[in-house]
Amino acid sequence: MGKIAFVFPGQASQYPGMGRELAEAYPAARQVFDAADHALGFSISRMCFEGSEEELKQTANTQPAILTCSVAVLRVLAEKGIQPDFVAGHSLGEYSALVAAGALDFTDAVRLVRKRGTYMQEAVPAGEGAMAAILGLSPAVVADVCKRAAENEVCSPANLNSPEQTVISGSAAAVKRAVEIASQMGAKRAVILPVSAPFHCALMMPAQERLAKDLKEIKFSPLRVPLVTNVDAETITSGDEARDALVRQVSLPVRWEESVRHLIEEDVNTFVEVGPGRVLAGLLRQIERSVHTLNVEDEKSLKTTMEKIGQN
């Protein structure tokens, strides 16, 4: 039998009402939301369960909300006896993965991602940065499009998500030019994303420097479960490597497709998306159709995953 990887979603997976069902049904999930409210000094649980889409879309809220929701799901899976052989997370999801691996204390993680979201928001004035999704062109072609579009501004691949999908990031004007060039070159779709900052590009260096100081002060333990990092798409097990990867990932691209292929080489054949939405499950199908993809975000998906893993 193959191995199980837990993968944790990043920004854009949030939706109003996320986590509420499991928090009402499982004390282990409720405790995570309570701990987050206490650590942050405001009710992130209210925001997840009853908040508006607008409120949840603000980066400084999105990041702790998704992390809290993912860790609440994780605690329920642990109670049910489902444990991963490997973990990975998409951008922000790497923090959830490190909590799952026992490297990072949850309350430290939730405070860190609140700051991370704030720093990213503040790194570039509103309207000056942008991100866009390019579908149907190879990552190499998209990299070339970015070079052509840059014109002395920042424009670079930010999320290497699948053979079909690359997200780019940079100065608003340069990203707009890249969308036009990509469309001319036959992209299936090239669309500006509704995000509040240009993540994973050189414009994020001010945020990276601020976050590095905070990360230096946090205790990172050795990982109980190996993690595949965004920045290098390689397995790590030491706390120092984990901290270093979190610093570098702020301004460097998320190498998601490579990370997934690395996990498959490690004999992973079942991927469980732990937390809100099914974004990663969708990407997994684009990368490798032969693997089992499951997700857990509510009672129904929990039941399905329990049944499928029980049969494996």
Catalytic residues: 91, 200
Q: Which two tokens stand for residue 29?
A: 């999930």
At residue 79, what is the residue type?
Answer: E
Distance between CA 104 and CA 32 in Å, rounded?
Answer: 14
Q: Please state, in angstroms and as integers, the Cα–Cα distance from residue 86 to each residue in 47, 67, 193, following that order.
A: 30, 18, 30
- Counting Cα atoms < 13 Å in the Cβ hemisphere of 17 gives 3
Using left for φ > 0, alpha for ψ between -120 and 50, and beta otherwise, residue 161 falls in alpha
Using left for φ > 0, alpha for ψ between -120 and 50, and beta otherwise, residue 26 falls in beta
- Angle between helix axes 106-123 and 27-40 (nearest 10 degrees) is 50
Q: CB of 17 within 8 A of CB of 96?
A: no
